[in-house]
Structure 1
Amino acid sequence: MTLLHAYLNAHAQGMALVQAATGMDATQLIELGADRATAKNLSKLAEIYFGNTSFTKYQAQCATNSHNLSALITIERYVARVKKVRDQWKLREKLCRTPEKHIARVAKQHLPAATPKEGIKIMRRDNGAPMTVSLTGASTILADFVSALDPHNPIASLNNLLDGSVARPQIHANVIVPLDAHTRIVQGDNDVILHTSHGATMTGAEFVARHLAQEGFATLVSPMQGAVNLYRTSRFASSKQRIMLQAETSTCAWPGCRKPIDHCQTHHIIGWKYGGETNIDNLVPLCTYHNGINDDRAAAQNTPFTTRGWIAKRTWHPPN
């Protein structure tokens, strides 16, 4: 057996490797030749899977798994996000029984979604290299900020805004208000969550506070019939159909895509060259990427609905 074979074989036998480290701390493992990160991981895993615990039943079940060392380390990263010790062992035991390729998916099903903290992250680089700034905050604020930037030249447009050489652009976002939500807002229910066409969400209270009569559009939609009426306080929109599409969905229509509709293209379900008309029933918003990979031929040739890459607009789904 070559040195490489010996290393890979040991790594594949994760639990046996961890058991061999039982009773040894990180310092001892480093003295045996382990790097600091590996030593800490082995020592921690040995304490968890072979140390003293009140949850011996779970521990015994976990010890029978056949995961490699990397998988065991990954499992503990997910388990560390659980507060109660009993719940940690329940998740650990479940993940130990889960094939490695499914660990992330199963773990996320049993973990609360992480709530990002508001703030700013700055990465500075040496020798005048570009700096990276990451902002996390309320979508109502940051969506306006992103919409104010030129997507083709964002840094220059940001600089123009900061030095005052250009006026801050007026943001006209279509706020989608289902009729039932509109009634609740009028009645004082401020817990209603609304979606805007440029990617933000807001409560009923924020909707009222932002004075939509001055800042944009308000579209009332029926859960049964779709878009009903468009109300506008300045001039008419240049593309009524696009705004009516915004009333049906606030994002790209491709399943799972969250690209705001303000950054999408209007796509013909039945392609124009195949006789498709520019009518609202034949239009959906798609982001640049999904509009590019979509197969226009599928709809024209009556391909089954399961055909990969075909967007079908079958029924009305009220905005969430």
Structure 2
Amino acid sequence: MDKYEEFMALTSQAIGILKDMSKRSPYDMASDGMARKTAKNFTQLADVLFGPTDSPRLQRESVALAEDRGLSLEYLEMVEKHAKKLQKRDVRLGRVVDGLRTISITDTQRRITDLEKTLDAAVENDNDRPRSEALLEPFWDLVESTGTGLIRPEYRTVIAIGLDDFAKVSCGKGEDVVVALSDGTTMTGAEFINAAMEGSLGDKLYVGLFHPTAGPVNLYEARFASDKLRTLAMAENLVCPWPDCNVPADRCQVHHIDAHKHGGYTKPSNLTMLCKYHNGVNDDDGPRKKRKRPSPGKPKRGRMRRHRGKVRLHTPGGKLVENTHHVSSMGAMDLI
């Protein structure tokens, strides 16, 4: 068998290849020489076929069928790409870029067209601006006039600000100060002061104490994280710290870095925020020796680990990778 024949034989083993990829991190695969984008595409496809799912029976049948027919990686990628487009109705919220954010709505043609006509009626005589710009204000008018409109609660969101910057802002000298929030956005020092003046920051101010290498400092012990512990964890990680994740801490779950079931304490240095998905795939177990304080073992999919004070992903290949989201680098541990 020559190299071409070996290659063709390998293409029919896509399911086996993806099964092995499902146990690896895209960052380790990239370090082995695979393009990072390609590695992410393959691990995402592996997640579809072997990761958590609401339809395990359908997943098993799909894997068996693909394996029986010897489908290639390229073919499986094409099927997944087109499957995503079929009758998918949803609302997607994009990442913040230069202070702007995008919302995308996919629904039936009738509902979207009726919305379009409603907005058009409000801009019938506005010919000075492009239509896409003219539709924006009528859209928000429509949203805010229906029912209770937009929800504007008192801030439960954590605002991470260093002591020096807080002093500047408090003295009215923080025009250039930019602080990050656990909803994945940022605000200027002026916006911070305005929010405080309007009472939207609430009537209480909480101060978190962080050590440069140990992380958040506290001595409380409990099974579930209290509001205070959750707030400290959010202040440290304003978005899910898993690399490339953009879910803000407001929508994350409190995660024990050393699993509670294996003796991990509920204390600030052992807590972080993870989105529901990454909290589920984080490898809490791994090989463990029978002793009083089990060894963390080698991660499979990867697990969160605190290293030199900061929470990072410990990949199966032993690399420590941090999230590069712009708000992720503005948390409490980055302010000291």
- Give the TM-score taking structure 2 as reference length: 0.43
- The one of the two structures with greater contact order (alpha-carbon pairs below 8 A, sep at least 6) is 2
Q: Mark the structure with the bigger radius of gyration.
A: 1
- Give the TM-score taking structure 1 as reference length: 0.45
